[in-house]
Amino acid sequence: MKRWQLWVGILVSAVFLWVALRGLKLDEVASAMRQGNYWWLIPSVAVYFVAVWARTWRWDYMLRPLKHVPVRRLFPVVVIGYMGNNVYPFRAGELLRSYVLRRREEIPMSASIATVIVERVFDGLVMLVFVFVALPLAPIPSERIRQLVILASLAFFGALLVFFALAAMPERAYRLVAWGADRFLPGRVRPTLLDITRRFLDGLESLRSFRNVLMIFFTSIIIWLLETIKYWFVMHAFNFEVSFFALMLMNGVVNLATTLPSAPGYVGTFDAPGIAILTLYGVESGLAAAYTLVLHAALWLPITLLGAYYMLREGLRWSDFDRAAKMAEGEAAA
């Protein structure tokens, strides 16, 4: 509670929650939730776990230059990471899954964190693809969404270009970091920074092959299509219908918004954009809010419970979150 990042996340979530709840009639939201047919949540959760399995396969593919870890062994690690993202702010679960991977498979955290960052960049790019594909097929009159797409496009494409450059010229990148460290950092810090830099560049090796890049991008599209199918199943629990392309757009915008810092579980940053997109398509605001809240819970609860089970089976404690952060900062020195 003493860390400023937590308070920044809480403030951002509070703003998004205010936007989400402004003008809503809570009795209408409650009525829509009472009328839901929640049997549709069963196939939605099943599809979501297929998507998590696909995420695990993608991560295995990216880790292979470092070490081949069977998907069945990697799946609990991924689930623990997503559970961590749901209960800690600033996607701390990504550090936790790299920490667990190091404990189980002895893969350096700095290298596996590089693959996780690349995952996030590809996820962002696929979200943008969804928005670009969906907007012409399910157009909505919103200048804010267009501005969000433009800004996010610049950010994610810029990040991808940087990662491609680092992967293509690792030795030059390493020499550049070494040059900066020699001139601007104290001597006791340089070995740690250079060791972490070397391992981080090793984690980008999967980007040195055009075939690998295509496979990562293709699997990312499959993952997010499966998640959109989950949105579609949950929609059938409520008394409204929008096109699959509208749900693609909602998925893209919502997940771009959740890249912002927020309170644990993406409170607010998931809900406000989801409600806004549906109301732009003519869904009554109380019904849109009920659907978005149930969808959020269906995304949050199953993976969190399964992650907690794997965490207990792994013998992890909540203090391992802090240990993971400290290890990531001081891995080379240790």
pLDDT digits (tens, 9 = 90+) for 83-93: 988 888 767 78
> Where are the extended beta strands (E) located within the chain?
none
Separation CA 182–CA 178 (nearest Å): 6
Q: Write down the pLDDT at residue 150.
A: 67
Whole-prediction pTM: 0.82
Mean pLDDT of the chain: 83
Cβ contact 254:270 at 8 Å: yes
Output the CA–CA distances (angstroms, integers) from residue 15 to 8, 102, 260, 269, 317, in the order listed.
11, 37, 12, 9, 32
Domain that holds residue 303: 4-330
Q: Residue 2: is its pLDDT beyond 60? A: no
Q: Write down the pLDDT at residue 333.
A: 45
Torsional class of 294: left (φ above 0), alpha (ψ -120 to 50), beta (otherwise):
alpha
Separation CA 39–CA 55 (nearest Å): 26
Separation CA 139–CA 66 (nearest Å): 44
Least confident of 98-102, 190-194, 281-285, 309-313: 190-194
**DSSP code per residue over 6-32:** HHHHHHHHHHHHHHHHTT--HHHHHHH
**What digits encode the pLDDT tens for the residues 249-288?**
899 888 888 888 888 888 889 999 899 889 988 899 999 9
Output the CA–CA distances (angstroms, integers) from residue 108 to 263, 305, 315, 318, in the order listed.
28, 27, 20, 21
Tell me how many domains the chain contains: 1
**What digits encode the pLDDT tens for the residues 125-144?**
788 778 777 767 666 656 66
**pLDDT higher for 296 or 133?**
296
pLDDT bin (cut points 50, 70, 90) of residue 121 is: confident
